[in-house]
């Protein structure tokens, strides 16, 4: 199984490479310290699985993952990061991450997660898994108006406020008003949280 590593911390990057190359059946075929280098290198020489940090200099690991999966959806990404906040987790999962581990994960568990990912699993640190499970708990259906659903659909498709206003033939101020109401009803504070909740709860 061929593994690539995208990590800006030299010590962590080299330690992961040593761990992988010292494990029978696993080979680290490439390492990258920036997302820009990773996008180019991983598309030219795709591995089976990428161990990916999401906080990188330049573009983020999440943006890099979106770019790579748009051209090669067969590459699996296993996020390995310090971030445990809900917004980062759901951004990564919505971008196509197959698993999500925090950096204090023991080496043995990282290796198990790589094999699990290769077999089609979705390995996650226990705290992250609980967060994801809780997001699927049955809750009262959010009562969005038809216009709010339209605006939320545009947000999920990556449209800017200006693009939404032009598409709906309304002012940007009106779009801001609808989005403010959407955030309040969904109990979120950002576009990424709204999009993640809309997708996980199938609101659009």
* Whole-number pLDDT of residue 139: 53
Under a CB-based contact definition with an 8 Å cutoff, are residues 32 and 38 in contact? yes
CATH number at residue 87: 3.40.50.2300
116's CB contacts (< 8 A; 6+ apart) are: 99, 122, 123
Considering just the CA atoms, what is the radius of gyration of the chain in Å?
19
Number of domains in the chain: 2
Query: How far apart are alpha carbons 92 and 53 in whole angstroms?
Result: 10
- Taking the CA atoms of residue 138, residue 142, residue 148 and residue 154 in that order, the dihedral angle to the nearest 10 degrees is -10
Tokens of 201: 């709860």
Residue 67 belongs to some domain of the structure: yes
| pLDDT in single tens digits along all 204 residues of the chain | 999 999 999 999 999 999 999 999 999 999 999 999 999 999 999 999 999 999 888 889 999 999 999 999 999 999 998 888 777 888 888 888 989 998 888 999 999 999 999 998 888 888 888 777 776 655 556 789 999 999 999 988 888 999 999 999 999 999 999 999 999 888 888 888 888 888 877 787
16 plus 41 within the same structural domain: yes
Considering the domain boundaries, does residue 74 fall inside one? Answer: yes
Among 135, 170, 192, where does a domain finish? 135
Q: 12 and 106 in one domain?
A: yes
Structural domain includes residue 73: yes
| Same-domain check for residues 9 and 105 | yes
Same domain, yes or no: 110 and 166: no
The most distant pair of C-alpha atoms in the chain lies apart, rounded to whole Å, by 60
Residues 12 and 111 in one domain: yes
194 and 155 Cβ atoms separated by less than 8 Å: yes
The reply to whether 141 falls in a domain is no
- Residue 193 and residue 115 share a domain: no
For 145, the 3-state DSSP assignment is coil
Domain end, chosen from 80, 113, 135, is at 135
C-alpha torsion 21→36→95→75, nearest 10 = -40
Per-residue pLDDT, 136: 63
Instruction: Let me know whether 83 and 115 are in one domain.
Output: yes
Is 117 contained in some domain?
A: yes
Shared domain for 96 and 195, answered yes or no, is: no
pLDDT at res. 115: 94
Give 99's strand partners.
Answer: 78
User: 165 and 115 in one domain?
Assistant: no
Residues 109 and 155 in one domain: no
Domain span at 48: 2-135
Residues 35 and 71 in one domain: yes
Asked if residue 180 belongs to a domain, the reply is: yes
| Residues ≥6 apart with Cβ < 8 Å to 10 | 33
Q: Is residue 140 part of a domain?
A: no
162 is a domain residue:
yes
CATH number at residue 179: 1.10.10.10
Contact (CB, 8 A) for 182 and 194: yes
- Containing 99, the helix (H) or strand (E) segment is strand 99-102
Contact 25, 116 (CB under 8 A): no
Domain boundary among 135, 155, 174: 135
Which residues have CB under 8 Å from 79's CB, separation 6+? 52, 53, 54, 61, 92, 97, 99, 100, 101
| 92 and 165 assigned to the same domain | no
Distance CA 194, CA 92 (A): 14
């Amino acid at each position: 199984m061929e593994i690539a590593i995208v990590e800006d911390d030299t010590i962590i990057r080299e330690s992961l490479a040593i761990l992988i190359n010292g494990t029978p059946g696993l080979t680290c075929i490439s390492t990258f310290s920036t997302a820009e280098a990773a996008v180019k290198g991983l598309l030219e020489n795709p591995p089976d699985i990428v161990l990916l940090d999401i906080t990188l200099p330049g573009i983020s690991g999440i943006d890099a993952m979106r770019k790579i999966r748009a051209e090669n959806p067969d590459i699996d990404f296993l996020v390995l990061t310090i971030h445990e906040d809900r917004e980062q987790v759901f951004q990564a999962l919505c971008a196509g991450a197959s698993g999500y581990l925090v950096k204090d994960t023991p080496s043995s568990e990282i290796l198990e997660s790589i094999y699990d990912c290769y077999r089609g699993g979705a390995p996650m640190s226990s705290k992250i898994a609980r967060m994801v499970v809780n997001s699927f708990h049955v809750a009262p259906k959010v009562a969005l108006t038809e216009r709010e659903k339209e605006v939320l659909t545009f947000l999920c498709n990556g449209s800017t406020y200006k693009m939404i206003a032009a598409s709906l033939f309304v002012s940007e101020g009106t779009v801001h008003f609808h989005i403010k109401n959407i955030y309040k009803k969904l109990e979120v504070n950002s576009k990424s949280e709204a999009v993640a909740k809309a997708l996980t709860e199938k609101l659009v």
